[in-house]
């Protein structure tokens, strides 16, 4: 940060820009004299739209170029969707703040049907998330799941063109784009457990930028940080990415935290679930403990099977 100017790296998608402008507004509320420059970047994940994320390297493809901008001193901070940020962060960088979380749940978007249970047999559902796919298949094995990539507006346009009967998107993404009116159903966590960090925005900086870390740490929402710390601990122990169907979701109320986690096979035939209740101070330990429980029940076997199949097709 030079001459009272802060450069923010962000993806170019409308949702990413909306999230970055939200962060920008928060920063200016604390430091109104600060000059902020946005540094929009097209990531590798944004360029490859004809393949599912599980086949091209996972959600990390949406953040690497932003991290390179930090490492090359082309930006001072980067703004990420927390669900896209890998649990293992580049050692020269640091996650300094997580803003207050919005709605963490998934939503069904459809022009003709008001809920998953109202979808007719054989209805075509669009999603490229293996997490969503495995849970949906378990609940409604009669549905047809087809891949769907692109930004939120592109996905909705494909729905409106009649290519799908319904699609599944993150609720908070729709809210931030002022598309709440397109939501047919906010899907309960019991039916579609969210991805770790879903609904929250993270701010990343260089590890040695102490001044930036000090100032922007004030944007951190402690409750959200504790919840996502538990979720990411679970995923870190499971060693998960978007290449496998995994979900984790924590809720903090009155110093008590409720953590749920799952891992499943892509075809939905096997889903392992577990939960933990405890004091907020043990959030990370709860994540590790829950992961270890699912590992004992067979999570590693699911992971190994997925890795074998992935290697076979590469």
248-282 CB burial, b ≥16 within 10 A, e <16: bbbebeeeebbbbbbbbbbebebbbbbebeeebee
- Most confidently modeled range among 52-56, 135-139, 307-311: 135-139
pLDDT grade, residue 49 (50/70/90)?
very low
Query: What is the pLDDT at residue 59?
Result: 54
* 129 pLDDT above the threshold of 80: yes
Looking at the annotation, which residues are catalytic? 84
pLDDT computed for residue 60 by the predictor: 54
pLDDT bracket for residue 1 (50, 70, 90)? low
| Whether the predicted pLDDT of 155 surpasses 60 | yes
Q: Which fold has domain 1-99+200-220?
A: D-Maltodextrin-Binding Protein; domain 2 (3.40.190)
How much is the pLDDT for 64?
Answer: 87
Residue 47 is predicted with a pLDDT of 46
What band does 203 get if pLDDT is binned at 50, 70 and 90?
very high
Q: 161-174, pLDDT tens digit by residue? A: 999 999 999 999 99
Pick the CATH number of 106-186 from 1.10.340.30, 3.10.20.30, 3.40.190.10, 3.30.230.10: 3.40.190.10
| Topology adopted by domain 221-314 | Double Stranded RNA Binding Domain (3.30.160)
- The pLDDT, as a whole number, for residue 57 is 47
pLDDT of amino acid 304: 77
Tokens of 171: 């609720």
Q: Which tens digit of pLDDT belongs to each residue from 206-263?
A: 999 999 999 999 999 999 999 999 999 999 998 755 467 899 999 999 999 999 999 9
Q: 56 pLDDT band (50/70/90 cuts)?
A: very low
Confidence of residue 89 (pLDDT cuts 50, 70, 90): confident
**In this model, does residue 158 exceed pLDDT 50?**
yes
Tens of pLDDT, residues 69-79? 999 999 999 99
Edge-to-edge, what's the strand order for the sheet holding 271-279? 246-253, 256-264, 271-279
For residues 215 and 228, give the distance between their C-alpha atoms in angstroms, rounded to a whole number: 21
Buried b (16+ CB within 10 A) or exposed e, 65-97: bbbbbbeeeebbbbbbbbbbbbbebbeebbbbb
**pLDDT at 311 > cutoff 70:** no
Phi/psi at 81 (5° precision): -70, 130
Ordered by start, the domain boundaries in the chain are 1-99+200-220, 106-186, 221-314
Condensed to tens digits (0 to 9), the pLDDT of residues 18-46 reads 999 999 999 999 999 999 999 999 876 54
Asked, colleague to colleague, whether 1-99+200-220 and 106-186 share their fold, the answer is yes
Q: What are 250-308's pLDDT values in tens digits?
A: 999 999 999 999 999 888 888 999 999 999 999 999 999 999 999 998 888 888 776 65
* Reported confidence tier of residue 123, pLDDT bands at 50, 70, 90: very high
pTM passes above 0.85: yes
Measure the CA–CA gap between 301 and 232, rounded to whole angstroms: 21
The tokens of 16 are what?
Answer: 């990413």
Q: What is the pLDDT of residues 2-15, one digit of tens each?
A: 678 999 999 999 99
């Amino acid at each position: 940060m030079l001459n009272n100017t802060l450069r923010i790296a962000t993806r170019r998608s409308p949702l990413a820009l909306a999230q970055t402008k939200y962060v920008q507004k928060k920063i200016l509320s604390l430091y109104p004299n600060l000059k902020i420059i946005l540094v929009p970047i097209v990531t590798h994940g944004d360029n490859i739209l004809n393949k599912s994320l599980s086949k091209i390297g996972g959600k990390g493809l949406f953040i690497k170029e932003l991290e390179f901008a930090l490492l090359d001193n082309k930006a001072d901070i980067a703004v990420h969707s927390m669900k896209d940020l890998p649990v293992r962060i580049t050692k020269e960088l640091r996650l300094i703040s997580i803003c207050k979380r919005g709605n963490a749940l998934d939503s069904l978007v459809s022009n003709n049907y008001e809920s998953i249970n109202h979808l007719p047999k054989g209805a075509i559902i669009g999603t490229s998330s293996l997490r969503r796919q495995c849970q949906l298949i378990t609940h409604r094995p009669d549905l047809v799941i087809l891949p769907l990539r692109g930004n939120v507006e592109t996905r909705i346009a494909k729905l409106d063109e009649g290519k799908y009967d319904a699609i599944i998107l993150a609720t908070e993404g729709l809210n931030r784009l002022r598309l709440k009116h397109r939501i047919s159903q906010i899907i309960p966590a019991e039916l579609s457990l969210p991805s770790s960090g879903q609904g929250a925005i993270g701010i990343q900086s260089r590890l040695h930028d102490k001044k930036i870390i000090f100032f922007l740490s004030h944007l951190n929402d402690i409750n959200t940080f504790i919840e996502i710390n538990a979720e990411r601990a679970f995923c870190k122990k499971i060693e998960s990415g978007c290449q496998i169907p995994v979900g984790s979701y924590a809720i903090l109320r009155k110093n008590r935290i409720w953590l749920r986690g799952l891992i499943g096979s892509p075809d939905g035939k096997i889903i392992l679930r577990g939960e933990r209740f405890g004091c907020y101070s043990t959030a990370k330990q709860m994540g590790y403990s829950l992961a270890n429980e699912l590992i004992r029940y067979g999570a590693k076997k699911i992971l190994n099977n997925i890795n074998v199949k992935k290697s076979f097709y590469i």
